């Protein structure tokens, strides 16, 4: 793969300064002396780094080839409309004729706003909701949009604001998921519970979903996938040998956002419409009030009410079915209460290490 070779081949880039000076000197800041200074901040003037404890301007450079990828053994993208598929320290990469190609810097600069070359629309306002390596992002009409390049930056170079900006970088989510995602407006009311019954999910049968691939079915160890799965194998909870994946556990991205899998029920549509779709939930009560969770529907059930999301969570209660007895030797009612699951650390200690 491209990224593998990029990481393994030592390269020496031949670069030359565009000017004897750099933009920061006219603003009262020196040019960065080393070519290895990392970009700490970017604004309309240019890119800024820190050297010897002081802010410095990173000189713009011009590569002696038409684009960076030539030195790495890859062609330049010939079309102006190639989308950015990947970005690394070398530059931005696209795919053309089924091959990786480097996007010339002149093409990157043609975007009017952040993410435009990735298919995102430009924001009408300049209100920034999130910042990542691509740039500044806004949120309008329930969609992410890129902040226009013409918007005035909120950070200034001649005050202590830069110090504040540097300090706040540690608070940015490394996952790329916003720390404070936009609230859900105009959504529907629903309810959540939790379960973990070890049973095969109903969305594991291709007949139950419109998705290109159903939910994977697993053998008793919870790790080995059935390469070919059909109705003849069946769920362990009804005499078959298919189980839930032991890794279908929820995980937190940051303090405000989590991901996971659910069984769900709705008043309209069918199981085929629901299976493998994703929903964004915002909790409205309890200690997680206001926090959000993005879930994929992997299971359904006749006992689930309208807009009812039963979150897959080890120790959440086996409910009506109990496949955990045959898989892990769990008690007849599972761990903790049959409905509701564990309530203490002592209860949690009964769970197998896989969960």
Q: How far apart are the first and last CA of the chain?
A: 34
Task: In whole angstroms, give the CA distance from residue 92 to residue 102.
Answer: 6
Residues 147, 44 share a domain: no
Residue 312: pLDDT above 90?
Answer: yes
Specify the pLDDT at position 272.
Answer: 87
Q: How many separate domains does the chain show?
A: 3
Task: In whole angstroms, give the CA distance from residue 35 to residue 59.
Answer: 9
Task: In whole angstroms, give the CA distance from residue 249 to residue 260.
Answer: 6
Specify the pLDDT at position 74.
Answer: 79
Closest listed residue to residue 106, CA positions, set 86, 136, 146, 76: 76
* Selected catalytic residue, list 90, 310, 333, 337: 310
312 token code pair: 């897959």
Report if residue 224 sits inside a domain: yes
Residues 302, 241 share a domain: yes
Report if residue 353 sits inside a domain: no
Domain boundary among 61, 76, 108: 108
Report if residue 179 sits inside a domain: no
Specify the pLDDT at position 234.
Answer: 85
Report if residue 20 sits inside a domain: yes
Residues 137, 87 share a domain: no
Position 29 confidence tier, pLDDT thresholds 50, 70, 90: confident
Active site residue 65: no
Active site residue 333: no
Domain boundary among 108, 133, 153: 108
Residues 167, 18 share a domain: no
Residues 340, 195 share a domain: yes
Residue 8: pLDDT above 80?
Answer: no
* Burial class for 272, CB neighbours closer than 10 Å (0-12, 13-18, 19+): middle
CATH code: domain of residue 275? 2.40.40.10
- The model's pLDDT over 90-122, given as tens digits with 9 standing for 90+, comes to 778 777 776 778 887 754 445 788 877 766 788
Residues 163, 68 share a domain: no
Specify the pLDDT at position 196.
Answer: 94
CA dist 100 to 3, 10, 109, 207, Å? Answer: 10, 19, 20, 37
Residues 120, 91 share a domain: no
- The model's pLDDT over 184-213, given as tens digits with 9 standing for 90+, comes to 888 889 999 999 999 999 998 888 889 888
Residue with the bigger pLDDT between 257 and 70: it is 257
Residues 44, 86 share a domain: yes
Report if residue 184 sits inside a domain: no
* Selected catalytic residue, list 19, 21, 65, 197: 197
Report if residue 183 sits inside a domain: no
Number of C-beta neighbours around residue 9 at 10 A? 10
Residues 162, 104 share a domain: no
* Burial class for 56, CB neighbours closer than 10 Å (0-12, 13-18, 19+): buried
With H, G, I as helix, E, B as strand and everything else as coil, classify residue 62. strand
The whole domain housing 160 covers: 116-171
Task: In whole angstroms, give the CA distance from residue 150 to residue 44.
Answer: 9
Specify the pLDDT at position 288.
Answer: 87
């Amino acid at each position: 793969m491209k990224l593998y070779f990029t990481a393994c081949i030592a390269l020496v880039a031949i670069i030359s300064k565009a000017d004897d000076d750099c933009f920061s000197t006219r603003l009262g800041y020196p040019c960065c002396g080393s070519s290895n200074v990392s970009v700490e901040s970017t604004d309309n003037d240019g890119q800024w780094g820190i050297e010897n404890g002081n802010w410095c301007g990173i000189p713009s450079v011009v590569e002696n080839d038409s684009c960076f990828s030539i030195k790495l053994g890859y062609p330049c993208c010939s079309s102006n409309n190639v989308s950015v598929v990947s970005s690394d320290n070398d530059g931005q990469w696209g795919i053309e004729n089924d091959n990786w190609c480097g996007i010339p810097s002149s093409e990157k600069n043609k975007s009017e706003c952040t993410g435009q070359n990735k298919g995102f629309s430009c924001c009408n306002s300049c209100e920034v909701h999130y910042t990542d390596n691509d740039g500044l992002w806004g949120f309008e009409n329930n969609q992410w949009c890129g902040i226009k390049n013409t918007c005035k930056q909120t950070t200034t170079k001649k005050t202590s604001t830069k110090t504040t900006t540097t300090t706040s970088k540690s608070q940015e989510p490394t996952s790329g998921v916003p720390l404070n995602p936009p609230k859900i407006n105009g959504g529907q009311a629903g309810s959540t519970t939790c379960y973990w019954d070890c049973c095969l999910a109903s969305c594991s049968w291709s007949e139950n979903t419109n998705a290109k691939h159903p939910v994977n079915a697993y053998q008793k160890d919870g790790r080995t996938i059935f390469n070919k799965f059909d109705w003849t194998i069946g769920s362990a909870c009804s005499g078959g040998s298919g189980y839930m994946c032991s890794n279908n556990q929820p995980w937190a991205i940051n303090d405000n956002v989590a991901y996971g899998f659910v069984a769900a029920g709705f008043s309209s549509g069918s199981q085929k419409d629901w299976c493998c779709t994703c929903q964004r939930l915002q909790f409205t009560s309890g200690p997680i009030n206001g926090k959000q969770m993005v879930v994929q529907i992997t299971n359904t059930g006749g006992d689930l009410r309208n807009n009812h999301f039963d979150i897959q969570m080890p120790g959440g209660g086996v409910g009506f079915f109990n496949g955990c007895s045959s898989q892990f030797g769990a008690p007849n009612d599972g761990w903790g209460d049959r409905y509701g699951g564990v309530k203490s650390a002592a209860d949690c200690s009964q769970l197998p290490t896989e969960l």
